[in-house]
Structure 1
Amino acid sequence: MFQPNIFALEPHHYHLLDMPSQKTSSDSDLGRVRDDDYETKSGTEMELPSGDEEQDPNQRSKRKRYHRHTQRQIQEMEAFFKECPHPDDKQRKELSRELGLEPLQVKFWFQNKRTQMKAQTERHENSILKADNEKLLAENNRYKEALSNASCPSCGGPAALGEMSFDEQHLRIENARLREEIDRISGIAAKYVGKPLSNSYSHLSSHMPSRSLDLGVSNFGAQSGLVGEMYGGGDLLTSIQGPSEADKPIIVELAVAAMEELTRLAQAGEPLWVPNDNSSEILNEDEYLRTFPRGIGPKPLGLKSEASRESVVVIMNHINLVEILMDVNQWSAVFFGIVSRALTLEVLSTGVAGNYNGALQVMTAEFQVPSPLVPTRENYFVRYCKQHADGTWAVVDVSLENLRTSPISRNRRRPSGCLIQELPNGYSKVTWIEHVEVDDRSVHSIYRHIVDSCLAFGAKRWLATLDRQCERLASSMASNIPSGDLCVITSSEGRKSMLKLAQRMVMSFCTGVGASKAHAWTILSATGSDDVRVMTRKSMDDPGRPPGIVLSAATSFWLPVTPKRVFDFLRDDNSRSEWDILSNGGLVQEMAHIANGRDPGNCVSLLRVNSANSSQSNMLILQESCTDSTGSYVIYAPVDIAAMNIVLSGGDPDYVALLPSGFAILPDGPGLNTGPILDIGSGGSLLTVAFQILVDSVPTAKLSLGSVATVNNLIKCTVERIKASVMSDSLD
């Protein structure tokens, strides 16, 4: 069994792999041309010494003999070069035999070809750099000209350079433009929504939600970035432009119509809604088209409909729920397992009467399943919030894809969202509707059933996630903490700090394990569902991550075992040695335990690994396990003892460096079959295994092939151990 020695450099962190770079013998030939032996002419001619010239050096200096390769010889070598630019001796001899050339002629042709390709690449890179330089120079000249012609925005008179910087002048002009923009949009929204909207600039800033529930759900979302948080890929979403002036009246009208449709959908029964096999309700598409003939237009060719409805009572009041849904940071933080990236592009209305009634905002978001085998779904949409006459709140999304000039999206969001009804004692009843049209043909076969059954992206998963997060938040705010929970935690502040650190760890794992377009997964091996996918990231100047080169690896596969069995096995300290190669067989002891939900599997733990190796003893692991009817997670990260002591005493956890690894477990079916699990869809598990490894503590270092091979072996060995353990236990 593979046992990598990865403890030598960092005794207290088992996430560092430092492997030497590898260099093949053929690398030394790259770009070297033996002009003293041969001369090339236009890449096709080569000086070839005859036998007489080698015997008589004087004749050699007087006469040069050129050998011109035939068209066939050139074509054959060009074709071989595309497949193998560095042929070895055996390959060169075979080529020389086939083409009627000397092995040395073949060798130097390939050397010259490599040199030629390198020169072409350098010329291309130089031209790009030159163009960039000219662009920067032109931009710099424009700034200088603007500075020289600066004028006072108040009086219009000339402004000396010492009076106002260009940045300050630009900001003042921009602020004035924004004030006019807000007044104009407020007028448009008031016309369609039917309620007066404040037109002051201060009203917008005062009602942009900076409020947060205890434990900092809002602030935490903002701190973690959430737009490609794990790998810094936010440029994709931020490149999308907001709506034009001409589009805004259309957007308001679409939002009002979508709100009416959502309200009717939430209150309707059969035949519009019919039950399905996972205890949710699915939409009767034919009945829907008869009931709502208009909407955002007919379904585009190649897209299929997914529509589901679910209701649940959650332990959170309706006002806080509305705040979460209308603040992109809070929304992304609560639904981190589903929302991989999100951004508010423009706020058209902030609402009236000091709340979100009538609020309108244009957004873009990317939705995911925790596996690299399921493509993400990206939407451009408007979100509208309204309080109905009976006191019920509603929040609706509807796609604006038809307003974009880009090619037709392969994913549209028909009116989707939720109705929130206030209940006594701080509870709320939430009815959620998820209705999309999507092209899902690229979904991997093992995830086909969970996607088709609406368990992957449907209403049931949204509400199960919300219910679990509400429980977690209520637990963090609890004051009657059992004494057994505290252990090494000395105060309630330390408890909150540890929960906040665990929340960041889980969010970082979830945003990095999916197939987000911000990621650049590379498949290492083609072995069906056991493909290992890897990507690298440079970590620099980030207090939340250790500096260096981070290698991430993930794989997903199916197990004929129930999700509960897999979840219980992976979170159990006593069975950790059966799969955790990195703990090196050490005894795992739980030092602190914080329950954060009704299910005993929902908890945060601090673990100590007591290894026989003294250099690795007393290693700490922060772990969170969480589960609901639509999925489970076991996520962990090694933590520094000194940093963890600060957290346990109530210190700021944002500066604790984490590289989370772990597991995402999804059900492949409703799980109602009590017999043996023989095929996908009959109650088995879809397990995603993901590791983050610090392969070099120097961010500028180059990744070696040895490091990649070691991580590949590590994840494959872990998968084999898990399969062997859970399968043997299920047979007992």
Structure 2
Amino acid sequence: MKDNEGRSCSSSHGAAGKYVRYTNEQLNALEHAYNECPRPSSTRRQQLIKDFPVLAHIAPKQINVWFQNRRCREKHRKELTGLVGLNAKLKASNKTLVEQNEQLAKNAAYGTLEKHCLLMQLNGHCNTNQTSFHAANQQSEAAIVTDRTTDFLVPEGDSECETSGGVNITGLLLIAEETLKEFLAKALGTTIDWIQLPGMKPCPDSFGMVAVSHGCDGVAARVLGLVPLEPTRIAGILKDRPSWLHACRSTDVVGTATTENKGTLEVVYTQMYAPTTLDPPRDFWTLRYTTFLEDGNLVVCERSLKDTKYLPTMPSMEYFMRAEMLSSGYLIRPCEGGNCVVYLVDHMDLKGTSTLEVLRPLYQSSSFLAQQMTLPAMLFLKQEAQVEQMPEGFQIFPTLRSLALRMARGFNDALNGFPDNGWSLIGRDGTEDVSISFNTSSYLKGIEPKSSAVHSEDGRILCAKASMLLQVVSDER
């Protein structure tokens, strides 16, 4: 037979095992009876048929089956509720343990750093008293003014008080230790309010965590990822910034020194391309410190040198704007299976306030920094790991990547028009929107003329660059 809504319903004499569909009235009656007695006896089930006429066409056996299923569903619901509550408690406990683990890691890093500083203070004086120490500093500072050379950071002894070429290694080492402390605090997320980068969803095959700064000086970005490479290999790749960062024109190490803990001090000069012809390129003078912590982690941290007494005499770069690199770098933690957990932190002040207002987002956006520098570094590491795992004969990707890098660098050189690359300005209009340059460099000869470059009779290449600012005009009349 059929119920009131046209659905089939088995009668008391229906076939065994046939699925019974109940009407809403029948379900309400059964639920009412279940609330009064979840386990009715056979007599009670017979009485239900008499008390609720809507159940008259349902066999007592089917009613018994409904009560059994109803008790089973209730049991499962209670178990599920208990599991949900247990899962919530486990999540809360896991969050607490993660926070405690991060705090312990931070404390361990700080303890290692403080111990390292104390050991250097105890062992670095080398039987010299405080008076002679200050005298040596004053003498070295006087020598800096008179003589600066590019190989000024080559100490001849193990003493912290040693100077080389007129530069005091002690002062640089103090800056390096302070940079290390600041970088570890940033890498562990304790000194900058990190927020998740919009559009980045962590997953097992991605970088793990990408964050940008919020409410701090300059712009900063951080990324955390698992890389199947050796720590020293990772450090070597990241130090060679021009090989993976298209915006980096060059990185030159102009001085080195070795510390007592087998660390390395490097004075580095870096040039960065400008993303537009309307703004000058940036350059940095930085101190880079490479060292192993006592827990076996490798740290490479870097910071701008503001004191010119630590810098060699270099030709002035009038077409560059001096930017500042705040404490940045990478922390490399070896783990099982030949992998390393890598923390990358970039923190810079690119002097965006000195540029045109329309260009400031290029220099004052943490997300832009993350997309242009921090993420490409991690992506390059993962690509290098994949290339090393490729069989011989299939490693065409590095060649294509090298070609793309050369093309990007050639375009950036032409865009910026560096004089030391052979570019000379021969014309400019009154509004300085269009400029014409020519290049006589030998490596450019033989390039086929394109729409943007024309060969002159003597083999030089003519290049015209145009730039324009467009103002947003409202549609309101």
Q: TM-score, normalised by structure 2?
A: 0.51
Greater Cα radius of gyration, structure 1 or 2: 2
Contact residue 221 and residue 367 of structure 2 kept, 8 A: no
Match of 2:158 in 1: 187
The alignment covers a number of residue pairs equal to: 299
Q: CA deviation at 1:527?
A: 8.0
The alpha-carbon distance between structure 1 residues 426 and 493, as it changes in their structure 2 partners (threshold 3 A), is same
Match of 1:306 in 2: 219
Q: CA deviation at 1:374?
A: 3.8
Among 183, 186, 203, which residue is 1:265 paired with? Answer: 186
CA distance in 2, matches of 1:251, 1:416: 16
Equivalent positions of 1:87-106 (< 5 A) are none
Contact residue 392 and residue 420 of structure 1 kept, 8 A: yes
Equivalent positions of 1:277-356 (< 5 A) are 278=198, 280-282=211-213, 284-285=215-216, 305-314=218-227, 316-326=229-239, 330-335=240-245, 337-349=246-258
Among 326, 329, 334, which residue is 1:417 paired with? Answer: 329
Match of 1:696 in 2: 456
Match of 2:201 in 1: none
Q: CA deviation at 1:493?
A: 7.3
For the pair 1:535 / 2:437, whether they are aligned, the reply is yes
Match of 1:388 in 2: 293
Contact residue 368 and residue 374 of structure 1 kept, 8 A: no
The alpha-carbon distance between structure 1 residues 412 and 539, as it changes in their structure 2 partners (threshold 3 A), is closer
The alpha-carbon distance between structure 1 residues 502 and 426, as it changes in their structure 2 partners (threshold 3 A), is farther
Equivalent positions of 1:228-627 (< 5 A) are 245-269=166-190, 272-275=192-195, 278=198, 280-282=211-213, 284-285=215-216, 305-314=218-227, 316-326=229-239, 330-335=240-245, 337-349=246-258, 357-404=262-309, 410-456=322-368, 458-474=369-385, 476-479=387-390, 492=394, 500-514=402-416, 531-540=433-442, 542=443, 545-547=444-446
Secondary structure of 1:264's aligned partner? helix
Q: CA deviation at 1:494?
A: 6.9
CA distance in 2, matches of 1:283, 1:375: 27
Contact residue 309 and residue 459 of structure 1 kept, 8 A: yes
Secondary structure of 1:441's aligned partner? helix
Contact residue 374 and residue 442 of structure 1 kept, 8 A: no
- CA offsets, 1:34-84, max 9 Å, x none? xxxxxxxxxxxxxxxxxxxxxxxxxxxxxxxxxxxxxxxxxxxxxxxxxxx
The alpha-carbon distance between structure 1 residues 497 and 395, as it changes in their structure 2 partners (threshold 3 A), is closer
The alpha-carbon distance between structure 1 residues 385 and 440, as it changes in their structure 2 partners (threshold 3 A), is same
Gaps spanning 5+ residues in structure 2: where? Answer: 1-148, 199-209, 469-477
Contact residue 325 and residue 331 of structure 1 kept, 8 A: yes
Equivalent positions of 1:632-643 (< 5 A) are none
The alpha-carbon distance between structure 1 residues 493 and 254, as it changes in their structure 2 partners (threshold 3 A), is closer
CA distance in 1, matches of 2:226, 2:417: 32
The alpha-carbon distance between structure 1 residues 398 and 503, as it changes in their structure 2 partners (threshold 3 A), is closer
Q: CA deviation at 1:338?
A: 2.8
Contact residue 326 and residue 349 of structure 2 kept, 8 A: yes
Residue identity opposite 1:260 in structure 2: K
The alpha-carbon distance between structure 1 residues 371 and 248, as it changes in their structure 2 partners (threshold 3 A), is same
The alpha-carbon distance between structure 1 residues 376 and 502, as it changes in their structure 2 partners (threshold 3 A), is closer
The alpha-carbon distance between structure 1 residues 249 and 314, as it changes in their structure 2 partners (threshold 3 A), is same
Q: CA deviation at 1:511?
A: 4.7
Contact residue 414 and residue 435 of structure 1 kept, 8 A: yes
Equivalent positions of 1:70-85 (< 5 A) are none
CA distance in 1, matches of 2:366, 2:411: 23
The alpha-carbon distance between structure 1 residues 523 and 451, as it changes in their structure 2 partners (threshold 3 A), is farther
Q: Which moved more, 1:506-515 or 1:375-384?
A: 506-515
Contact residue 522 and residue 535 of structure 1 kept, 8 A: yes
Q: CA deviation at 1:381?
A: 1.6
CA distance in 1, matches of 2:268, 2:350: 19
Q: TM-score, normalised by structure 1?
A: 0.35
Equivalent positions of 1:669-708 (< 5 A) are 691=452, 693-696=453-456, 698-699=458-459
The alpha-carbon distance between structure 1 residues 505 and 347, as it changes in their structure 2 partners (threshold 3 A), is same
Gaps spanning 5+ residues in structure 1: where? Answer: 1-176, 193-241, 286-303, 482-490, 552-580, 583-690, 720-732
State the structure with bigger RCO (CA 8 A, min sep 6), 1 or 2.
Answer: 1
Residue identity opposite 1:469 in structure 2: F
Q: CA deviation at 1:384?
A: 0.3
- CA offsets, 1:176-214, max 9 Å, x none? x99998452x4245x69xxxxxxxxxxxxxxxxxxxxxx
Q: CA deviation at 1:363?
A: 1.1
Residue identity opposite 1:400 in structure 2: L
Residue identity opposite 1:536 in structure 2: F
CA distance in 2, matches of 1:338, 1:243: 34
CA distance in 1, matches of 2:398, 2:385: 12
CA distance in 2, matches of 1:493, 1:430: 25
Contact residue 150 and residue 255 of structure 2 kept, 8 A: no
Residue identity opposite 1:399 in structure 2: S
Contact residue 547 and residue 698 of structure 1 kept, 8 A: no
Q: CA deviation at 1:515?
A: 7.3
CA distance in 1, matches of 2:427, 2:260: 48
Match of 1:165 in 2: none
Match of 1:556 in 2: none
Secondary structure of 1:398's aligned partner? strand
Residue identity opposite 2:351 in structure 1: D
Match of 1:138 in 2: none
Q: CA deviation at 1:419?
A: 1.2
Q: CA deviation at 1:467?
A: 2.6
Q: CA deviation at 1:538?
A: 0.7
Residue identity opposite 1:381 in structure 2: T
CA distance in 1, matches of 2:266, 2:382: 28
Residue identity opposite 1:363 in structure 2: V
Contact residue 351 and residue 359 of structure 1 kept, 8 A: no
- CA offsets, 1:671-722, max 9 Å, x none? xxxxxxxxxxxxxxxxxxxx5x2513634x6x7xxx66xx67xx89xx9xxx
